[in-house]
Chain A
Amino acid sequence: MLKRLLRYGFGAVLGILVGGASALYLAGLWPGTEPLDFGNIEVDGWRSDFNIGSEAADPYTRTRVARHGLLGLAKSEAVYFTRTTDSSGEPLREACEYRLSGGAMPAEWWSITLYDADSKLPMNEDAALSVDATGVSGNSEDWSALISPKRPQQETYWISSRNAGTFDLTLRLYVPIRALLDAPEDTLKPPVVERLSCEGEAP
């Protein structure tokens, strides 16, 4: 009888461990998983899930967003696109310099912000955490910014990656136009992230 109970107990505990761990893994909360490689929409390497903030979101998205995008707005008010790699598919990292370039966006206001692997703003005092539509208003149709751990001497727009380690970029589009919600792939021309050089590599 005791052996039988032990077998059932072993099965139950194993099931709970595997079931719990698989939920965390699929929601991107397990250490080592890519929490931001999710979503049902991808436009040129920028990923999004338009169910963020809504009750329609599947349980995996809701769990992931609770950890990495808490207090995000529903799509009628704002949509969020994230990318973790440069245009050649390499992870974004502090040791490299990148050129971020783009044009007008299909929304009333947009911004691009750099976050570290913990989904936090990198701990530096450079006051260069993002670029936004108001900041590039004179060049809104054709703008570019440098992403670098050091303040550039010539660039007008700069996002500091100092102390960011491996990072990602989040594109916020506030009050998006209807066409973006209906057909994001046809409507959004997202910024390009081109790697310029990396520390220790020949330019």
Chain B
Amino acid sequence: MKRWIGPLVAMVVCGIAAHFAVLHFTPGLIMDRTLSALKDRGIAEHAFTTPLRITPQTQAVVRTSPDLFYSLCRYDLSEEGSELSITMAEWPGYQSLSFFDADTNNFATIRGTGEAKNAYLITKRHPVGEDSHKILSPTSRGVVLIRRLAPTQELFDAAKEASVNDSCEWKAG
């Protein structure tokens, strides 16, 4: 019996380590797969991609709402000093600009109902300008998402027209 004490301890230690490793890495793995899937579906890096209206046939991400217009921009700020300049164009109804890191955290959201909003995304702290929001991304990769309330085809088409003035521009350091 005594000879099994060591293996038993190894089992407990490995079990605890595996348990927390799975919890730690799974969100990042899922996000990584999602970023790849979005790339495969034509979602651009450093540009907002004009979306199709969410239907059972076009859904790319789980639990998307058919009542919202979603415009996505993938980003990669791994080059030192690089930043992302984002503009969410004016829209008369509800709209928001939300930021998700590579671990799935929604680390910032800016609401812009009835008005345009600008933001800058960085990976190191910079002084905040007077007319801009500089947001620190916890990871170098992630997704920026614009949501606009557009529950009808007519509103969706109007949101699509408004999105012509959205931008997601990468700038070298």
Taking Cβ atoms with an 8 Å cutoff, the residues of A that contact B are 4, 7-8, 10-20, 22-24, 27, 29, 53-55, 59-60, 62-63, 65-74, 76-77, 108-109, 111, 113, 115, 118-125, 127, 129-130, 132, 134-135, 170, 172, 174-175
Contact = CB atoms under 8 A, between A and B. Distances in A.
Interface stretch (B19-27, B82-90, B123-131): B19-27
Interface of B: 3-4, 6-24, 26-27, 30-31, 34, 54-57, 59, 61-67, 94, 96, 98, 100, 103-107, 109, 111, 143, 145, 149, 151-152
Given A20-B18, A121-B56, A62 B63 contact: no
B63 A115 contact: yes
B62 A53 contact: no
B106 A74 contact: yes
Contacts of B27: 62-63, 65-66
B109 A77 contact: yes
Among A121, A170, A172, chain B packs the most CB atoms within 10 A around the CB of A121
Contact of B30 (A14, A19, A67, A77): A67
A123 B14 contact: no
Nearest to A114: B66
Contacts, number: 175
Contacts of B11: 11-12, 14-15, 18
Contact of A73 (B6, B20, B98): B98
A176 B61 CA distance: 24
Nearest to A122: B56
A73 B149 contact: no
B30 A70 contact: yes
A127 B53 CA distance: 11
B63 A66 contact: no
Contact of B104 (A4, A70, A135): A70
